[in-house]
Structure 1
């Protein structure tokens, strides 16, 4: 009877999860249920899975609405019917059209109209002489006594019982109303009546429902007939990805084997310095390739590997760089195909971590490309494998409790100040009348789906047309997205391909281009094995000179590299995972550093644990360590261990499943005879780090990209830094990348109208900053400037104004930043001319000078301009203009420092280079603030860390414990006098700050009165 049921995937309408719906149905003895969410099937497969577990027959459908207006409900009689619904839904979503009044002619679908639509005559429904046998009219219990009034308009033999379900009780109804007010962005009191479901739209007891319709048994009979005639048979286990790349699976395997063996020769062959090593190990390597190929073929992944290889091949043909990361780097076949540059043999990565018959979910490749190449690569996939078989993966954005409180507070009309107070301190809400309501409803809403968005990079390439599984809907960039997320995709047998983007690869790509252009050198950036042996890179790592390099430039990472004495690839791989919040937060990072320096002095928590984790000194560092401990230490089977790893990594939705896995872990450990103390400590470590950890292959992939960046910075630092600036930088602001270029010997020039581009460029050892760094400058002006400059350079301000349409505001920006400085006039003379040329025109009105026609502007100006006094300039004026327009001066900020104005100190004043000589002593240092980070200490007090530049331009770090952090807070960017104790850990010095004071700048000389 229940053919119109909403879950919370009827976004901002439904209130119940599929599990809650099914549990309620079980309690009422309901054996068949149809999920008909509004304009989507997002929750369908989750609903089907819950129904199968509970012994309920699921039925699939969709409720079609235009805004608040219910058009009709469609039920799929079988898989073909669901595909028909998806095709119809996809078509209208893609064209952003309202759904038609009349549903299309379906073959395998029941269509049910609300009786109110029929009697109102919409679409001519009540004028039909006969009704198709696939269309019906739904009648609600509350309307039974009105049927006779409209009996001449209603087809008596097509009427069917209709009991919509949106909530279970009054609390659910209240939540539903709040959601509708959020959707309509209005006060609850102003919510339109037609926007809200009826209070009677709850899961009524079947016996009670039969009693209500006792006078109309044929309506009950027809409702049961509709549901009984529908069947949703779906195989969750059969792979849904495209199964054949060539012409057959056998041909796919042959091609994959040929490519892998060719790649084996390339990766390990005679062109390598260790070619002899390859020949001695050729048999072992070939056997591993064959073993992997057998598993790949068995698990139907040959086409998936080949499609990924094809994407990489296309990217390389276009000059795009990539990094293959994640557990896919465990595969030697992937390494041989060039999908990843991580050598799994070197790092002892086992293939089964990526693909094995026991794995609980299909694996996927994560491929990073430069941020500005990703859209072209997605377009390639859609054109290569499209025809309705390619889509982007969705993600379900959920409500969070604090955000929900704000949303609900607004619809209740609470004043902003009052609402802020309740949100910031939920305990106060318990003593506030509206606050208690907010708190209760927001807790209920926490984690509930809010809307669909796009997954960061997931792409599905299907064997069947995707409308067999989902409707597709458009997203802003034009690529269609499915209506389910990665969890559902995995559950139903899809392995996604993650086509991701990052700016680090943009750094690398552009740096290689600049090196070829500026130095006439072609760099093979994939020569990773050579980079690993490079003495220059080893030294760069040893000196932790990594600013600008992918993933290893932050202060915390630079300190870790220094503390580890990192000089090689394996240590950097470990560091990439050790730095993650879980390991660091559990205190295991410190233990790892200690054991790294003294590997023979530690005692593992348990001897067996020491054997399993010997490579990482008995510490769980990688995601694989969870699997090792769960399987080989605790005794869980491989599938359970992998499930536990996924659940702890946040890649599994079911909290109930996670709890069962945790219980299973403890039971299994106890069965092995371990003490509660040992089990508890091991679980603490697992729990604290697993949600933030990397797989070893993922860390290795990051380390590969770090090595590529390190190579470029070591041997071509100027080109590399220019590329970093042009691709959005990284951890730091552009100022400090410019500083790095200066440290590497570059001459830095402010933007110039005859030399600079929108992006920063390099010419020999001179870097010309780009116009894009100038605050407030319009790109359209720069496009016009560059177009004119291509014809011939500008030779005066007048020439510029004649040829480029520019208003006074934009012209003054160009002058103040120094754009005309190479034309033989002082800045003040240029400023005077700029004002004179624009005259009394509004500042926003462009001036082109074309009213003078063919007159020589300079002659006209000389004839009419008054004689100027001598215009003097202070050396600091340029620096203050640069600070204002670029965000930083092109001179040392210490040159802008005024007299300290603080009481003298007896402490030695030292620089960064002398810190190790003063360990254990109190000192004074002057530092220009680079970055600070606030954290919560173990006692919940706030403390901080800082990174600074000294007067020599060298970096040093500070620690601010809660007392100093509170009593001496940062007061904005600037130079500070810092006093404290110099400490040292494993060769890494830091200043533990006791006091700090910000030092005053010199005033802008133009603002100082004589």
Structure 2
């Protein structure tokens, strides 16, 4: 039996189910005492899977406690965590910068920050390009790709030393030159072919101009002062400003142990065997302004300059606007006019003896509310899906509260006759609740893929994508991965994990450990217990929703990055249904139902043996 789904991790987004656009929702920001003069510009959440060791809201709340002027969320080749951070930032009144760390195969890694809505769209499109080129979970980009999407983006170039030590003599310094430093991107990424970081920095300067910066990151290591002087020299020679950052992976130092475990899981080996793949200390946490000034005592202006980037970034996710496709309308008609005509035509087909007065009143009422809430294009898209399925002989049926809609009955989406029962449209669409309608349509499970591929073909991969599903750690999977990372034998890990089947209470792990003879109070037991409890609820990877499709009038890939799914022919956006709800983005649930397949086969048998043709109505 698979693990039971865990309870939702509480976040600051209390209004996650609202269908309003992000800009329409009332701000519930806590008034902050003051804003400091430092902003962290290079920060990964745990949506940099198996790298970041803190949730987005934990990072935001810690930044607010430290009185940051702003916080940039810059996950690796991803925007998957920005919506959660956005909601948390509004709660505490913190300015959030939206960006990503981009890792090209032929250049230094770079943090790109969106200054406005157009720049955000180019960043999302750039990530989509790299993700669509690569298998699921990977991203392949080049410097040329970055250059083609550079307009409006701020670039913070990253140079990290790898095995770099300070030369002992002036002669050795001259011989070493710019060696001893590399783009430290990860073992799965190749080293940039150009050996000189200065040459690579010049390339970024040529593309980004005065929007190019060099990020200096110090982590209390022995050669920090020597390394900072080297960065100062490179910045001067390339004519780019030097900016302080910290390559943040967790919100407080106490998460270093968990970050070590995540690194071990990522590399598939115990922590004890990681060697130099581990960070040498716990310094990649959010530091106070005073702490950063101590690190950069030789260059305090690098800390102050972070505010310059904050002031240049004016984009907020509140600016995102979602527009449903409108090409289903015939020329010269608005979506509402087309929907109205289709509804009355359908009503006359449903009631050939004349449309009852009760149904006429319901149709007029529903159409007025649909017009007021501007959902007409949404209804037309679902109608088009059902029309396509019926043209292919695929059984389909609307489900849930949508059965309360007489418009959907007239469009043929549902088969519940409103003249025979009392229906309440407001159970489906309500102005007072201000929630987006949830339209679920079941299709035969053996042929649902035909419907999904129809959407991809009709709207294109840049305008349609499946909603993501965030796969998170549960107690059983967390015990398996943490146990292996700590070096427990496979049989011991297996015994512990099997005792957690269908178990979802991290606070009750001690009793489960004792049941199989594992002492939770031993040093190893305490360490395992603590790390598992921290890891439960962490995102492990993105999967695909059971059938939620997002379709847009404009480019979807400029609203949210799109990537390949594991299943051939599928592409998935980087946001899940809760993220979409936060921003007021609508989806259509195209679900697979095995019983519809059974019913169709039963209909076929009845027709074959009796000549009688049955339908769902």
TM-score normalized by the length of structure 1? 0.49
Contact 2:96–2:316 (CA<8 Å) still a contact in 1?
Answer: no
Match in the other structure for 1:267: 350
Q: Pick from 8, 23, 29: which aligns with 2:61? A: 23
Match in the other structure for 1:202: 285
Q: 1:46 to 1:170 in 2, by over 3 A?
A: closer
Q: Pick from 126, 129, 134: which aligns with 2:198? A: 126
Structure 2 CA distance, aligned partners of 1:450 and 1:70? 27
Q: Pick from 373, 383, 386: which aligns with 2:447? A: 373
Q: 1:237 to 1:83 in 2, by over 3 A?
A: closer
Please report the RMSD computed on the Cα atoms of aligned residues, expressed in angstroms: 2.6
Match in the other structure for 2:536: 446
Q: 1:384 to 1:420 in 2, by over 3 A?
A: closer
Match in the other structure for 1:436: 526
Structure 2 CA distance, aligned partners of 1:199 and 1:354? 51
Contact 2:97–2:316 (CA<8 Å) still a contact in 1?
Answer: no
Alignment pair present for 1:139 and 2:216: yes
Higher helix share: 1
| Aligned-residue offset at 1:468 | 2.4
| Aligned-residue offset at 1:328 | 1.2
Match in the other structure for 2:274: 191
| Aligned-residue offset at 1:212 | 2.4
Where does 1:95-494 land on structure 2 (aligned, <5 Å)?
95-96=133-134, 98-100=140-142, 103-105=146-148, 106-116=150-160, 120=181, 122=192, 123=194, 125-127=197-199, 128=202, 131=206, 132-142=209-219, 143-149=224-230, 153-154=234-235, 155=238, 157-191=240-274, 193-194=276-277, 196=279, 199-235=282-318, 239-242=322-325, 245-246=328-329, 251-270=334-353, 282-386=356-460, 388-423=462-497, 424=499, 425-427=512-514, 428-475=518-565, 476-494=567-585
Structure 1: stretches of 5+ with no match in the other structure: 271-277, 529-1010
> Secondary structure at the residue paired with 1:286?
helix
Match in the other structure for 2:589: 498
Structure 2 CA distance, aligned partners of 1:195 and 1:509? 57
Match in the other structure for 2:27: none
Find the structure with the greater CA-based Rg.
Answer: 1
| Aligned-residue offset at 1:165 | 1.5
| Aligned-residue offset at 1:248 | 8.5
| Aligned-residue offset at 1:394 | 0.6
Contact 2:158–2:216 (CA<8 Å) still a contact in 1?
Answer: yes
Where does 1:564-575 land on structure 2 (aligned, <5 Å)?
none
| Aligned-residue offset at 1:73 | 1.3
Matched residues, number = 516
Q: 1:247 to 1:172 in 2, by over 3 A?
A: farther
Q: 1:344 to 1:19 in 2, by over 3 A?
A: farther
Q: 1:298 to 1:484 in 2, by over 3 A?
A: same
| Aligned-residue offset at 1:374 | 1.4
Where does 1:602-621 land on structure 2 (aligned, <5 Å)?
none
Deviations 1:592-644 (A, max 9, x none): xxxxxxxxxxxxxxxxxxxxxxxxxxxxxxxxxxxxxxxxxxxxxxxxxxxxx
TM-score normalized by the length of structure 2? 0.78
Deviations 1:699-742 (A, max 9, x none): xxxxxxxxxxxxxxxxxxxxxxxxxxxxxxxxxxxxxxxxxxxx
| Aligned-residue offset at 1:139 | 1.0
> Secondary structure at the residue paired with 2:99?
strand
> Secondary structure at the residue paired with 2:86?
helix
> Secondary structure at the residue paired with 2:601?
helix
Q: 1:362 to 1:249 in 2, by over 3 A?
A: farther
Structure 2: stretches of 5+ with no match in the other structure: 1-38, 162-177, 183-191, 500-511
| Aligned-residue offset at 1:257 | 1.7
